[in-house]
Chains A and B, each alone.
Chain A
Amino acid sequence: MAMSIWEYANPKKFMETSSIALPWAAGGALLCLIVGLVWGFFFTPDDYKQGSTVKIIYLHVPSALMAINAWLMMLAASLIWLVRRHHVSALAAKAAGPVGLTFTLVALVTGAVWGQPMWGTWWAWDPRLTSFLILALFYLGYIALWQAVENPDTAADLTSVLCIVGSVFAVLSRYAVNFWNQGLHQGASLSLDKEENVADVFYFPLLVCIGGFVLLFLTLVLLRTRTEIRVRRVQALLARERMA
């Protein structure tokens, strides 16, 4: 019989499957991050224009990429919650919030530290930077809304709506440079169109780092979703205890 993706919406099935996937994702993340960052930091040359600051690319690009994609994952999980009412998807979206916020902060901090020597300023109200800052505020609002609403189903409903609204800024932060074609931030460092990519000597360690960040995201979302499922179980058992 064919397996359905919806089987994983069952918390018991999710716990079983994620317990197998989690060590592999964590091991892969650790391996890719160590290899990618050591390769990039110690064994790549300086850029002819940007000097040694080019080494910041191995943190800045993967974190920015995952900051946007974390929100898109939350959007997919929120839509599944709204349409099919699967609790695991709502909890996965909740679990991803702080992870996405951390990646956004890493992107903003590394961007500021990189921008200062290159542009002569820590911050500019540039389309991409501004939309990224708004994305960080949406992450904060999303996390706060989960904390503020006591009923978990109502919290899932409201945060799902917020997630849909925030998706505009997630997409905007990716394409802001193309929309306005102005500001200090350059275009994409990576593209399916090979002409736009950075030089190979930076490109390959960057790909390994991106793989590491993707696996780190997966690891943390699995880990935190498992925790959220257990929190629900504790709450259910305590409620039963009170009623007995």
Chain B
Amino acid sequence: MIPDLGKYAVSVLTAYGASIALLAGLVALSLWRGARVRRMLREVEQRQGRSDG
């Protein structure tokens, strides 16, 4: 399935692996923090008896 990358296989695969890891890490961190803050906001709003978005 993987094309023949010849003598540069390590370079090409390292570039793709490192880039995908960095970008996936950023996406995961953004989603995790977003979910945590949303949950926190819901808790505070419920405690104060309000809900406006």
Given A63-B19, A113-B18, A224-B30, does the pair A52, B41 have CB atoms closer than 8 Å? no
CB within 8 Å of B: which A194-244 residues? 216, 220, 223-224, 226-227, 230-231, 233-234, 237-238, 240-241
A85 to B38, CA, bound (A): 25
The 0/1 profile, CB within 8 Å of A marked 1, for residues 1-26 of chain B is 00111111101101110110011011
Instruction: Kindly state the interface size class of chain A when it binds its partner.
Output: 35 or more
**A to B CB contacts below 8 Å, 30 in the list:** A12-B53, A51-B8, A52-B3, A52-B4, A53-B11, A55-B15, A55-B16, A56-B11, A60-B15, A102-B23, A102-B26, A109-B15, A110-B18, A110-B19, A113-B18, A116-B11, A117-B7, A117-B8, A117-B11, A220-B27, A220-B30, A223-B30, A223-B34, A224-B30, A224-B33, A227-B34, A230-B38, A231-B37, A234-B40, A238-B44
A15 CB-CB contact with B under 8 Å = yes
**A142 cross-chain contacts in B, Cβ below 8 A:** none
A109-B18, A230-B37, A234-B44 in contact; A53/B26 too (CB < 8 A)?
Answer: no
Q: State the main secondary structure of chain B at its contact with A.
A: helix
Contact B26–A234 (Cβ < 8 Å): no
Chain A proximity of B5: nearest CB distance (Å): 4
A153 at interface (Cβ–Cβ under 8 A)?
Answer: no
CB-contact partner of A56 in B3, B9, B12, under 8 A: B12
What residues of chain B have their CB less than 8 Å away from a CB belonging to chain A? 3-9, 11-12, 14-16, 18-19, 22-23, 25-27, 29-31, 33-34, 37-38, 40-41, 44-45, 47-48, 53
Separation of A91 and B33 alpha carbons in the complex (Å): 15
Per-position binary interface string of chain A over residues 109-140, scored 1 when its CB falls under 8 Å from any chain B CB and 0 otherwise: 11001101100000000000000000000000
Contact of A99 among B6, B26, B48, B53 (CB under 8 A): B26
Q: Once bound together, how far apart are the Cα atoms of A230 and B41, in whole Å? A: 7
Contacts of B37 in A (CB 8 A): 227, 230-231, 234
A42-B3, A106-B23 given; 18 more Cβ-contact pairs under 8 Å: A15-B53, A41-B3, A46-B6, A52-B8, A53-B11, A56-B11, A59-B16, A102-B26, A109-B19, A110-B15, A110-B18, A117-B11, A224-B33, A227-B30, A234-B44, A240-B48, A241-B44, A241-B48
Which of A's residues lie within 8 Å of B, judged by CB? 12, 15, 37, 41-42, 46, 51-53, 55-56, 59-60, 63, 98-99, 102, 105-106, 109-110, 113-114, 116-117, 216, 220, 223-224, 226-227, 230-231, 233-234, 237-238, 240-241
CB pair A105–B11 under 8 Å, yes or no, is: no
